[in-house]
Amino acid sequence: MSHVILKNLEKRFGDTFAVRPTSLSFAKGEFVVLVGPSGCGKSTTLRMIAGLEDATGGQISIAGRNVTGLEPRSRNVAMVFQNYALYPHKTIYKNLAFGLQMARTPKDEIDRRVRWAAGILGIDHLLERKPKQLSGGQMQRVALGRAMVREPDVFLLDEPLSNLDAKLRARMRDEIAKLHQQIGSSMIYVTHDQVEAMTLGDRIVVMKDGVVQQVGSPLEVYDRPANRFVAGFIGSPEMNFLEGHLAAENGCPTFRAGELAVPLTAMSVAARPGTPVVLGIRPEHISLPSDSPIRGEASLVEQMGAQTVAAFQIGGVEIRAVVDRDDTLRSGDVRSVRIDPTKTHLFEKESGMAFVPTKSREEVTYA
Higher pLDDT, residue 51 or 167: 51
Identify which of 2-6, 33-37, 118-122, 174-178 has the greatest average pLDDT: 33-37
- Tell me what pLDDT residue 356 has: 67
Q: Is the pLDDT of residue 51 over 70?
A: yes
Contact between residue 278 and residue 346 where contact means Cβ atoms under 8 Å apart: yes
- Give domain 2-229's CATH number out of 3.80.10.10, 3.30.530.20, 3.40.50.300, 3.40.462.10: 3.40.50.300
For the chain, the structural domain boundaries read 2-229, 237-363
- Tell me what pLDDT residue 359 has: 43
Q: Is the pLDDT of residue 365 over 80?
A: no
- Give domain 237-363's CATH number out of 1.10.357.10, 3.40.50.720, 3.30.70.260, 2.40.50.140: 2.40.50.140
pTM: 0.89
pLDDT in tens, 250-304: 777 889 988 788 888 756 666 688 889 999 999 999 999 988 888 999 999 999 9
* Mean pLDDT computed over 49-66: 95
Q: Which DSSP state fits 240? A: E
Range scoring the smallest mean pLDDT among 25-29, 102-106, 282-286:
102-106
Total residue count of the chain as it appears in this document: 367
- Tell me what pLDDT residue 8 has: 97
Mean pLDDT estimate for the chain? 90
Per-residue confidence band for 164, with pLDDT thresholds at 50, 70 and 90:
confident
| 220 Cβ neighbours under 8 A, 6+ residues apart | none
HSE toward the beta carbon, residue 134, CA cutoff 13 A: 24
pLDDT in tens, 61-89: 999 999 999 999 899 999 998 887 889 99
Per-residue confidence band for 316, with pLDDT thresholds at 50, 70 and 90:
confident
pLDDT in tens, 191-231: 999 999 999 999 999 999 999 999 999 999 999 999 999 99
Q: Is the pLDDT of residue 366 over 80?
A: no
Q: Distance between CA atoms of 363 and 307, rounded to whole angstroms?
A: 36
